[in-house]
Amino acid sequence: MKYVIRALLYLVLVAPLALFIVYSFTEGWFFPAPFPSEWTTTTFQRAMDDPRTLGGMWQGFVIAVIVSLLSLILAFPAARALGLRQFRGRQIAWLVLFLPTVVPPLAIGMGLNILFLRVGLAGTIMGVSLAHLISTLPYTVFTLSSAFARYDENYEHQALALGASPAQIFFNITLRMMTPSLVVATLFAFLVSWSQYLLTLLIGGGKIITLPVLLFTAASGGNPSTIAIKSLLFILPPALVIAFTARELNRHGNDIREQY
Amino acid sequence: MKYVIRALLYLVLVAPLALFIVYSFTEGWFFPAPFPSEWTTTTFQRAMDDPRTLGGMWQGFVIAVIVSLLSLILAFPAARALGLRQFRGRQIAWLVLFLPTVVPPLAIGMGLNILFLRVGLAGTIMGVSLAHLISTLPYTVFTLSSAFARYDENYEHQALALGASPAQIFFNITLRMMTPSLVVATLFAFLVSWSQYLLTLLIGGGKIITLPVLLFTAASGGNPSTIAIKSLLFILPPALVIAFTARELNRHGNDIREQY
Amino acid sequence: MLKDFSLSINDGEMVTLLGPSGSGKSTVLKLIAGIEQLDNGDIRFDGESILQTEPNKRGAVLMFQKSYLFPFLNVEENIGFGLKMQGVAPSVIQGEVKRMLSLIGLPGIEKRKVGQLSGGEGQRVALARALVTQPKLLMLDEPLSSLDTSVRMNLQAAIRDIQRELGITTIFVTHDLSEAMAMSDRMAILLDGEVTAYDKPETLFHRPPCVRSAKFVGVDLFLEGEASGGWLDAADVGRVRLNDESKVGRSVFAIRPEHIRIQKEETENSLAGVVQSCLFRGEALEVQVRLGELTTRVRLPMPAPMFAHGENVFVQLPAEYLFEVAA
Amino acid sequence: MLKDFSLSINDGEMVTLLGPSGSGKSTVLKLIAGIEQLDNGDIRFDGESILQTEPNKRGAVLMFQKSYLFPFLNVEENIGFGLKMQGVAPSVIQGEVKRMLSLIGLPGIEKRKVGQLSGGEGQRVALARALVTQPKLLMLDEPLSSLDTSVRMNLQAAIRDIQRELGITTIFVTHDLSEAMAMSDRMAILLDGEVTAYDKPETLFHRPPCVRSAKFVGVDLFLEGEASGGWLDAADVGRVRLNDESKVGRSVFAIRPEHIRIQKEETENSLAGVVQSCLFRGEALEVQVRLGELTTRVRLPMPAPMFAHGENVFVQLPAEYLFEVAA
């Protein structure tokens, strides 16, 4: 029974990828035909020759890295306060943090766009990155703060009593204890930023083109092979990142399990 | 200090709303002018007369209610298993559940559209609702499962030993203990569904028009008053729902606090 | 978890399962309550297997270290919960709740909220909630472990009284030797999923049957050797006189720490030793003495002189207190 | 939390803070360690206030109920942590760790992972980690509370030995009377943030100065009345003979439960009572007796006869064991 479930899960994960691959390297596979009639790399070639494809991947990657870094730097102290301390206004802080996931990004994006146009951030990589923070921060803060809620400050108190300075404690104890959650939080931030479509479009104003933007344009066009190739390029990096961190996630399985 | 922070938070929450209200009832308020030159209800009247506005709100509301119900029904057993049980493949289950928040809804939406076109669900309220589940389920499962992670099954064991049947236990103990989290989970599901733009557009295929869809169209148009009115109509229901449940959230403050 | 577990309990008897954490005590209760499933074996009430009976029909109630009073119900609703689930009329429930509250010594708190109860009151109410359904078997899983000493001692006496008065068959689980001895008609020592001894508390305390059980009831000194003609040749420490002259062959004898004496001069059955530590324990002085390869605790009744670390003494083992244990 | 707290500790002394949960014991240690901030008052080492000293420079180490060994370091790295933070050379650290491991009786486990240690071993390693930095003050916050009885008793003796050997000034916090008495040169009873008694364990056990302290060390019977000419007129129970003939006026006398005797016939200083319960406690029999309005516990050394619930008896209070306490 367990194996059946496991097999089903892998099928769900792998099947779309396989389908995308097939569509990417074939032409003219239409509905009633059981197999594609022709295999070809021309569509793939064409997509890769289009400078917007690689450019979009590169810009998306740069933005995702900036966003991940900023998310961690901002989320860490906030998550520590939310996870460890009891203070008045804590619930309001949570509410504000979760508003972006609940209030439509569309409304936020339009407001931000007006603001960013004024300060010259609209259409820049920095502007788009800052906008992405709105979607990534809830995830990173949530992940880290649920780890902090289970974090026992007495480890730090021990180190303090043993003569460690605050900086020594931060690097030798706090960061070491939080490593698994930091990995998960970074993963979340990277992937959410990588997949952002709406905010990129609104703030980027046509100047910042990432893969999701290209994919949406292609989706309107309608050539299944083009869509499949861009989807493949789009899904591969997240899949690789997940695979890469899966070992880490598994190794710290217990920590992660406790976290949720 | 606390009051300053609190005032700032309220400002962040209330200021956009006020701005939208001002824009809704004025015409010709352009940048350098400190105050709007003219107050009017004609734009508001015009927007309300447009049958698409009220129709969009109604359709969005119906979809959000269906989505909330389905989310709860599906999430409850899943969250219980994820929160309470230790089983192999638990991490994989989490991964699959979180994929939709990480893998772009764009890719998912396009895949679903192909499927729904085949089975006749594309362009229907049910189809759009099912698609929305992909975005709401992670939230509801997450909220409920973190409550279940702190849930002590011994309350149920007590009831069992006292002679309560499984059904009696479910209604008298489990649901009562989980009430605060169920409220929060419903709120999340409702709001996420209400704000969905991309999946509604893709699956609705122009037949299901909700407010976010209208808002995006208006945003392309560019009349600030029209945008403001639609934004207002868009943001008011979430604001009201949050205000309505705020009391509940506060009353169960401790439960909620423990939950995160 | 449970290896070789077999226990029979008489009607109306109070039996304690005593064992360290992780010995499988709670598992036994959960199996009976139907919260966990038995892999193999049987559980019988009055000779009939209950394994096929639904857990909520077994008539076996459970009480834990935490009271698990339902936080959304008041005291009356909590106590009446079981009866309400069985469809008993509200007026009858009211009467039963009143009766139970006076039984547990807390009359008149029907409308109290659960959060307003102290730890001890909470456990009393939980007991009332368990008893009101008139179960065939009452199971108490360390119900007093989180209470302060004085509350705990009062509740020990109260539970014992109520159990005797109602004559309800009871299994009490604890890791505390003193509590177990006070609470039971018979007491089973559970070590690593195995019952190593099952007898009256007095018997187990003074004459534990085997080394493992003896260690658990506080015996510290075991002399192993060849017995013959009323003497034991203990390899580690020397010859010791026994009361039992008929005993022959390899055997292990033990003695309780409070029966050992410390003296300055050598007499019969005295062994040379060196004091390791000497701790004041109120009613007694606890002295650790090294005897060759062995170390033993000695409990001397107060008043007693303190001994210095490293002091040379003789430890006297009165022959009448030496008893044999299985290895 | 702490109300009227003042305590001075001599160099090299081991002092126990004894109190129930919530009495503020741990707060004292956290204030000294600098984990919590003092509202008003002062903390002095050798006469100098340490309030302005940074917490990590105070030389006061803390050990908790949990070992809090860093899970990502092995035993050697854990013990050496403090020295490493102070920039001590690795070769020196290695030697010190070795010395500490033999001091705590666990030589050769340098490379062991923290997860492979038993509860008792973990606490020993935590002790080594605390001691290796040669602190001025060692603070132990219920370090043995989560250990099984036998491990706990061994560690009590071990900690006491190590403390005496190193002569390190130590504050030990516990809620367990027996542990407190065994572990301290002097013992402070802390109730509701207030020190109600501070003296040698023997003195506090046998002659607690006030009713609250007396209750905490297990005294149960307090006779309040008018004293004159060697007699106490206790309103609740009658006239009782005192050893001290000079005592005059309103006063409270108390007696320890193990000094009370139970007999069938009336004699001097015997009070009529009714047996409430009778519990076997191994070395002693614990009898609850109602004396008019009062109820008292009596501890009779074994062997003793069991008493039935409701039995009429006389409780004898030997005059030499009655002592006065402040109300």
Give the one of A163, A176, A177 whose C-beta lies nearest to D133's C-beta.
A163
Could you tell me the residue range of the domain that residue A255 belongs to? 52-259
Least confident of A216-225, C170-179, D175-184: A216-225
Q: Do B and C share at least 3 CB pairs under 8 Å?
A: yes
What pLDDT band is residue C265 in, cutting at 50, 70 and 90? confident
At residue D185, the pLDDT reads 93
Q: Are residues C32 and C142 in the same domain?
A: yes
At residue D255, the pLDDT reads 93
Interface residue D231 vs chain A (CB under 8 A) = no
Q: Is the pLDDT of residue D125 over 90?
A: yes
Residue B174 within a domain: yes
> Best of D27, D29, D37, D62 to disrupt the A interface by mutation (most A CBs within 10 Å)?
D62
At residue B258, the pLDDT reads 39
How much is the ipTM here? 0.75
At residue B224, the pLDDT reads 66
Q: Is the pLDDT of residue C141 over 90?
A: yes
Q: Do C and D share at least 3 CB pairs under 8 Å?
A: yes
Q: Is the pLDDT of residue C285 over 70?
A: yes
Q: Which of C181, C212, C243 is the last residue of a domain?
A: C212
Show residues of chain A in contact with D60, CB under 8 Å: 161
Q: Are residues B108 and B231 in the same domain?
A: yes
Give the one of C150, C215, C288 whose C-beta lies nearest to D157's C-beta.
C288
At residue B240, the pLDDT reads 74
Peptide bond into A238 cis (omega under 30): no
Which chain A residue has its CA at the smallest distance from B189's CA?
A: A102
Q: Are residues B190 and B220 in the same domain?
A: yes
- Chains near A with 3+ CB pairs less than 8 A apart are B, D
Q: Do A and D share at least 3 CB pairs under 8 Å?
A: yes
Least confident of A33-37, A156-160, A171-175, C191-195: A33-37
Q: Are residues A202 and A253 in the same domain?
A: yes
| Chain center to CA of C222 | 22
What pLDDT band is residue D161 in, cutting at 50, 70 and 90? confident
Q: Are residues B135 and B254 in the same domain?
A: yes
| Chain A residues within 8 Å of chain D (Cβ atoms) | 152, 154-155, 157-166, 168, 172-173, 176-177
- 8 Å CB contact of C160 and D280: no
Residue B86 within a domain: yes
CATH classification at residue D100: 3.40.50.300
Could you tell me the residue range of the domain that residue D269 belongs to? 219-324
Tell me the C-alpha to C-alpha distance, in Å, between residue B224 and each of A111, A122, B235, D116: 11, 19, 16, 67
- 8 Å CB contact of B161 and C57: no
Q: Are residues D119 and D58 in the same domain?
A: yes
Q: Are residues D133 and D246 in the same domain?
A: no
- pLDDT (average), residues C160-166: 89
- 8 Å CB contact of B159 and C81: yes
At residue B231, the pLDDT reads 75
Which chain D residue has its CA at the smallest distance from C202's CA?
A: D282
Q: Are residues C142 and C277 in the same domain?
A: no
Residue D7 within a domain: no
Interface residue C130 vs chain B (CB under 8 A) = yes
Q: Are residues A23 and A75 in the same domain?
A: no
- 8 Å CB contact of D215 and C150: yes
Q: Are residues C35 and C73 in the same domain?
A: yes
Q: Are residues C145 and C88 in the same domain?
A: yes
Q: Which residue has the higher pLDDT, A1 or D115?
A: D115
CATH classification at residue A168: 1.10.3720.10
| Residue given tokens 């729902």 in the structure block | B241
- 8 Å CB contact of C56 and B164: yes
- pLDDT (average), residues A22-30: 65
Tell me the C-alpha to C-alpha distance, in Å, between residue C296 and each of C213, C289, D159: 17, 5, 18
Q: Are residues C20 and C149 in the same domain?
A: yes
At residue C130, the pLDDT reads 93
Is residue D201 a contact partner of residue D180, using CB atoms and an 8 Å limit? yes
Q: Are residues C284 and C203 in the same domain?
A: no
Give the one of C71, C72, C133 whose C-beta lies nearest to B162's C-beta.
C133
Q: Which residue has the higher pLDDT, C213 or A49?
A: C213
Q: Are residues A2 and A113 in the same domain?
A: no
Q: Are residues D57 and D201 in the same domain?
A: yes
- pLDDT (average), residues D217-242: 85
Q: Is the pLDDT of residue A188 over 50?
A: yes
Give the one of B152, B157, B163 whose C-beta lies nearest to C85's C-beta.
B163
Q: How far is D86 from chain A (nearest CA, A)?
A: 7
Residue A46 within a domain: no
Two structure tokens written together for C172: 């009490």
How many residue pairs bridge chain B and chain C with CB atoms within 8 Å of each other? 59
Q: Are residues C156 and C265 in the same domain?
A: no
Show residues of chain B in contact with C62, CB under 8 Å: 157-158, 161
Q: Are residues C206 and C158 in the same domain?
A: yes
- 8 Å CB contact of C282 and D161: no
- 8 Å CB contact of D258 and C156: no
> Best of C26, C35, C63, C83 to disrupt the B interface by mutation (most B CBs within 10 Å)?
C35
Interface residue C282 vs chain D (CB under 8 A) = yes
- Chains near D with 3+ CB pairs less than 8 A apart are A, C
Show residues of chain B in contact with A149, CB under 8 Å: 260
Give the pLDDT confidence of D168-206 residue by residue, as tens digits: 999 999 998 999 999 899 999 998 888 999 999 999 999
Q: Is the pLDDT of residue C206 over 70?
A: yes
- pLDDT (average), residues C151-164: 88
C211-227 CB burial, b ≥16 within 10 A, e <16: bbbbbbbbbbbbbbbeb
- 8 Å CB contact of D258 and C148: no
Q: Is the pLDDT of residue C172 over 90?
A: yes
Q: Are residues D303 and D180 in the same domain?
A: no
Show residues of chain D in contact with C276, CB under 8 Å: 157, 161
- pLDDT (average), residues D52-68: 90
Q: Are residues B122 and B164 in the same domain?
A: yes
At residue C193, the pLDDT reads 86
What pLDDT band is residue A247 in, cutting at 50, 70 and 90? low
- 8 Å CB contact of D129 and A161: no
Q: How far is D60 from chain A (nearest CA, A)?
A: 6
User: How does strand C249-255 pair with strand C221-228?
Assistant: antiparallel
Q: Which of C212, C240, C275 is the last residue of a domain?
A: C212
Which chain C residue has its CA at the smallest distance from B176's CA?
A: C72
Residue D4 within a domain: no
Residue D307 within a domain: yes
- 8 Å CB contact of B164 and C133: no
Q: Which of D212, D239, D266 is the last residue of a domain?
A: D212
Q: Which residue has the higher pLDDT, C123 or B46?
A: C123
- 8 Å CB contact of D282 and C160: no
Which chain C residue has its CA at the smallest distance from B178's CA?
A: C72
At residue C83, the pLDDT reads 93
At residue A256, the pLDDT reads 37
Q: Are residues B34 and B86 in the same domain?
A: no
Give the one of C57, C61, C68 whose C-beta lies nearest to B155's C-beta.
C68
At residue D95, the pLDDT reads 93
Q: What is the 3-state secondary structure (H, E, C) of chain C?
A: CCCECCCCCCCCCEEEEECCCCCCHHHHHHHHHCCCCCCCCCCEECCEECCCCCHHHCCEEEECCCCCCCCCCEHHHHHHHHHHHCCCCHHHHHHHHHHHHHHCCCCCCCCCEHHHCCHHHHHHHHHHHHHCCCCCEEEEECCCCCCCHHHHHHHHHHHHHHHHHHCCEEEEEECCHHHHHHHCCEEEEEECCEEEEEECHHHHHHCCCEHHHHHHCCCCEEEEEEEECCEEEECCCEEEECCCCCCCEEEEEEECHHHCEEECCCCCCEEEEEEEEEEECCCEEEEEEEECCEEEEEEEECCCCCCCCCCEEEEECCHHHCEEEEC
- 8 Å CB contact of B91 and A242: no
Residue A114 within a domain: yes
Least confident of B238-252, C252-266, D134-148: B238-252
- 8 Å CB contact of A250 and B95: no
At residue B121, the pLDDT reads 86
Residue D2 within a domain: no
Q: Compute the mean pLDDT over every residue in chain D, rounded to the nearest whole number.
A: 89
Q: Are residues A3 and A108 in the same domain?
A: no
Q: How far is B130 from chain A (nearest CA, A)?
A: 17
At residue A258, the pLDDT reads 39
Q: How far is B79 from chain C (nearest CA, A)?
A: 21
Q: How far is B138 from chain A (nearest CA, A)?
A: 12
| Residues of chain B scoring pLDDT < 50 | 253-260
Give the one of D160, D178, D286 whose C-beta lies nearest to C277's C-beta.
D160
Q: How far is C232 from chain B (nearest CA, A)?
A: 53
Q: Are residues B130 and B188 in the same domain?
A: yes
Q: Compute the mean pLDDT over every residue in chain C, rounded to the nearest whole number.
A: 89
Residue D5 within a domain: no
Q: How far is C277 from chain D (nearest CA, A)?
A: 6
- 8 Å CB contact of A89 and B2: yes
Show residues of chain C in contact with B173, CB under 8 Å: 70
| Chain B residues within 8 Å of chain C (Cβ atoms) | 152, 154-155, 157-166, 168, 172-173, 176-177
**Number of domains comprising chain D:** 2
Residue D262 within a domain: yes
Q: Are residues A111 and A224 in the same domain?
A: yes
Q: How far apart are the first and last CA of chain A?
A: 25
**Number of domains comprising chain B:** 2
At residue A14, the pLDDT reads 64
How many residue pairs bridge chain A and chain B with CB atoms within 8 Å of each other? 121
Give the one of B152, B165, B176 whose C-beta lies nearest to C56's C-beta.
B165
Q: Are residues A9 and A83 in the same domain?
A: no
